[in-house]
Amino acid sequence: FQPKWLAGRKVVLTAGPTFEAIDPVRGITNSSSGKMGFALARACAHAGAQVVLVSGPVGLPTPFGVERIDVASALQMRDAVMGRLAGADVFIGVAAVADYRPEASAEHKIKKSGEAMTLTLVPNPDILAEVAALPEPPFCVGFAAESRQLDAYAEGKRRNKAVPMIVGNLVQDGLGQDDNLVVIYDDDGKHPLPRGGKMGLAQRIVEHLSGRLGRHPA
């Protein structure tokens, strides 16, 4: 039984990695599996929300009742998110978006030359920060994936990106895995959750989120 904490709400989420093409066969990506973001999309749908899930390249089935948009690059993810935000009450950025992309993607496969090669990278837009900076933003939830100093870095990202709530995790605790260990940070401080499966954690995060939206569970 799942209380309908998000009934009548529209939630837009991102999940998975992005893929930044170098040429038609190569690219820059990371090892996000999409499991955390897909679990959250599912938990939001179970809680009664209308859910739009913008996903990078992952091998996961679409959760029941969720509208899914597949993208590859950060630029495509940004466009898909911005195009779906109308009427959204909540935006949750779970995707591991590449901070940089190759300045240019070669039209044809780059041939081996035996010489050293330099790849010039340019910054990608920060989707979460852009959504949070909209004139009337939805309630924004970020994630922070760190390899150390979780409290300092996660809270720093919450402030820098001007989002009310961020979910921090250490990559060694959850990236690519079925379980995770997360801490929620908001205006009231830090709220550690016990280690557990991503679906159970997603339900706890939705419960916390609904409280922040002013719809406290009974």
Q: Catalytic amino acids?
A: 30
* Alpha helices, H only, 62-168: 74-84, 127-132, 150-160
> Looking at this protein, which amino acid is placed at residue 148?
R
Q: Using CB under 6 A, which of 27, 63, 102, 174 touches ligand PMT?
A: 174
126 is in an annotated binding site: yes
Residue with tokens 């904490």: 5
Residue placing its CB nearer to ligand PMT in the complex, 7 or 179:
179
18 contacts 95 by C-beta, under 8 angstroms: yes
Residue placing its CB nearer to ligand PMT in the complex, 6 or 183:
183
Is 158 a binder of ligand PMT (CB under 6 A)?
no
Q: Using CB under 6 A, which of 53, 144, 181, 206 touches ligand PMT?
A: 144
Cβ burial, residue 48 (10 Å; 0-12/13-18/19+): middle
Q: How far is the CB of 76 from ligand PMT (least distance, A)?
A: 12
- Cα–Cα distance measured from residue 207 to residue 218, given in angstroms and rounded to the nearest whole number: 11
Is 209 a binder of ligand PMT (CB under 6 A)?
no
Q: Using CB under 6 A, which of 11, 12, 33, 43 touches ligand PMT?
A: 33
Is 55 a binder of ligand PMT (CB under 6 A)?
no
**CB burial string 172-196: b at 16+ within 10 A, e below:** eebbeeeebbbbbbbeeeeeebeeb
Is 126 a binder of ligand PMT (CB under 6 A)?
yes
> Looking at this protein, which amino acid is placed at residue 119?
L
Q: How far is the CB of 166 from ligand PMT (least distance, A)?
A: 7
Cβ burial, residue 100 (10 Å; 0-12/13-18/19+): middle
Q: Using CB under 6 A, which of 175, 183, 202, 206 touches ligand PMT?
A: 175
- Cα–Cα distance measured from residue 95 to residue 74, given in angstroms and rounded to the nearest whole number: 10
Q: Using CB under 6 A, which of 12, 94, 183, 206 touches ligand PMT?
A: 94
* Known binding-site residue numbers: 99, 109, 125-128, 143, 157, 161
Using CB under 6 A, list all residues that contact ligand PMT. Answer: 14, 32-37, 74, 93-97, 99, 124, 126-128, 142-145, 157, 169, 171, 174-176
